[in-house]
Structure 1
Amino acid sequence: MSDSTPQERLREALRGLRAFVEEARESFVEGFPRAGTAHLAAARASAGATVGGRSAEAPSELAVVREEIGDCRRCKLCERRTQIVFGVGNPHAELLFVGEGPGEDEDRMGEPFVGRAGQLLTDIITRGMGLQRSEVYIANVVKCRPPGNRNPEPDEIAACQPFLFRQIDVISPKVIVALGKFAAQTLLGTVTPISKLRGRWFEFRGRKLMPTFHPSYILRNPADKKLVWEDVQLVMQELGLPLPKSAKPRA
C-alpha cells in the first residue's frame, strides 16, 4: 500500500490528466471532453476526501475543466466574445443554477448573471431563499455571449455541453435549477416547452433537477413571477431551507 498522502496522489493524477489533455489537443481526438471525465474521476478517487459527499478537491478539478476549455475556438461564438464566462460560486454547493448564456454585462465582467436578470436571480437567492450568492454555484449552457443576446444555436450548445456536464459532475450539487428553455432542454434532452416542464422534479445524473422560467423572462412577464416563487419553494423544501411563514409547503 502506498504511503503517499491524498494530496500527493491527487497531484500525480492531475499531472497525468494534464498530459492526456495536451496529447488529445495535439491529435484532435474526437469526443475528448468525455474521455477526460474518467481522468477527473480517477483524480477524485485518488484524493479520497469528500465534503458532504462531494469532492474536497472540486476547486482543482474545476480548474482542470477550465484549462481544457482554453481559448476556445470550438464554435463561432468565439469570434465576437470579449471573454469566456465559465461559472462562479461555491465549488461544493448543494444548489446549482444553470442559465442560458452570457449577456453583454456578463461578457464584459466575466461572471454569469450580473445584469438585470442577474440582479433578479440574486434577489431570489438572497431575499427569497435566505442564502448568499457565494453559497451557490451559477453557470450557463454556453460559455460565450451569443451576438446581440440571440438564442444559442444547436452547434453552439453541443460544443459547450460536455464542459457543462463535467462542471455539474465535479460540483455534484444536491439540486440543479434549470433557468429557462435552453437549460432545461439541454439537461433533460427534450424539446418539451419550459411552460410544461417547470414546477416538476426531474433527475439529471442522479441529482434532482427543477426547471423554472429564466429571470429575463420574468422581467418581460412579471405576472409569472409567482410561478417561479412556487418552484423556488419546492427547491427550498428539498434542501431543508425554512419557508416564509406565509408560504404553504407543497407536495
Structure 2
Amino acid sequence: MLDWEELIGACSGCQRCSLGSTRKNIVVGRGNVNAPLLFIGEGPGEQEDKQGLPFVGPAGKLLDTLLDALEIGKDQYYIANVVKCRPPGNRVPLDDEAEKCLPYLRNQVYLIKPRIIVCLGATAMKYIVDKDARITQIRGTWIERKGYWIMPTFHPAALLRDESKKILMWQDMKKVKQRLDELCQNKID
C-alpha cells in the first residue's frame, strides 16, 4: 500500500484509462484522513474537475447541508469517489474505468481505516457492495463486511432531480449519525 503522498502522486500520473487524458485535475478526496466515516461517490463532476476536490458542486453543497443538519463535523468524515477523474459529460464511469481506479480507493480505505462507509448512489454501491444490487432496494440497510459498517443511500444529485428521495436519504443518514455516535462512544469507553 502507498502512503498519502505516494497515492496522490500515483493518481496524478495515472493513465490507466482514457479518463486520465481528459481531466483537468485528479480528485482524490477531501476531509479528515483519520475520520471514522467515509463517503464514497461516483466520480468528479465539472466543478470537482475544476477545483480538484470532490462534492463541491450543487450535489456537494446539498451533502454539506445535510451533514451540518445532522451535526456531523468536518473532522468526522472523508469524501472520495470510485473514479478520480471526471467522465466526459458527467456520464457514469465505465466498468473498465472503475476497475482500474478501484485500487486507489482501496488504498484510501486502508489509509483512513473508517468504521463506517456510506455509498452515495448506485455506482458506489455497485463497486463496494454488490454489482447486481439495486440502490432502491438496499438503501438504508446496514451491511457489515470486513470490519466495516456499510450503508448504501442515494447520491445527493438524485435528490436534486427527485425531491421525494430527500426524506429517504434523511432517514438513512440519521441511521449513519446514530451508528457513528455509538462507535465513537464505544471507542471512548
Instruction: Give TM-score, length-normalised by structure 2.
Output: 0.92
In the TM superposition, residue 170 of structure 1 has moved relative to its aligned partner by 1.0
In the TM superposition, residue 109 of structure 1 has moved relative to its aligned partner by 0.4
Amino acid at match of 2:87: P
Match of 2:158 in 1: 217
Q: Give deviations 1:164-201, integer Å, cap 9, x for gaps.
A: 01101110111111000010110113221111120111
Identical-pair percentage = 45
Q: Pairwise mapping of residues 60-71 of structure 1 onto structure 2 (< 5 A)?
A: 61-71=3-13
Secondary structure class of the residue paired with 1:211: strand
Amino acid at match of 1:105: Q
Q: Distance in 2 between matches of 1:85 and 1:135?
A: 20
Secondary structure class of the residue paired with 2:149: strand
Match of 1:82 in 2: 24
Match of 1:124 in 2: 66
Q: Give deviations 1:101-141, integer Å, cap 9, x for gaps.
A: 000000000000000000001011112x2023353100000
Amino acid at match of 1:138: I
**1:166 is matched with which residue: 103, 107, 111?**
107
Do residues 227 (structure 1) and 168 (structure 2) align?
A: yes
Q: Give deviations 1:34-55, integer Å, cap 9, x for gaps.
A: xxx3xx5xxxxxxxxxxxxxxx
- Structure 2: unaligned runs, 5 residues or longer: 183-189
Q: Distance in 1 between matches of 2:89 and 2:132?
A: 24
Do residues 239 (structure 1) and 171 (structure 2) align?
A: no
Amino acid at match of 1:117: A
Which stretches of structure 1, 4 residues or more, deviate above 6 A after TM superposition?
A: none
Match of 2:88 in 1: 147
Higher mean C-alpha deviation, range 162-171 or range 63-72? 63-72
**1:200 is matched with which residue: 121, 134, 141?**
141
Q: Distance in 2 between matches of 1:233 and 1:131?
A: 10
RMSD: 1.3
Q: Which has the bigger relative contact order, CA under 8 A and spacing at least 6?
A: 2
Secondary structure class of the residue paired with 1:96: strand
Secondary structure class of the residue paired with 1:160: helix
Q: How many residues align?
A: 182
On the 8 A contact 1:125/1:132 being kept in 2, the answer is yes
Match of 2:40 in 1: 98
In the TM superposition, residue 217 of structure 1 has moved relative to its aligned partner by 0.3
Amino acid at match of 1:95: L
Q: Distance in 1 between matches of 2:122 and 2:58?
A: 19
Amino acid at match of 2:159: I
- Structure 1: unaligned runs, 5 residues or longer: 1-36, 41-60, 242-251
On the 8 A contact 2:12/2:26 being kept in 1, the answer is no
Q: Distance in 1 between matches of 2:13 and 2:130?
A: 27
Q: Distance in 2 between matches of 1:147 and 1:205?
A: 34
On the 8 A contact 1:122/1:133 being kept in 2, the answer is no
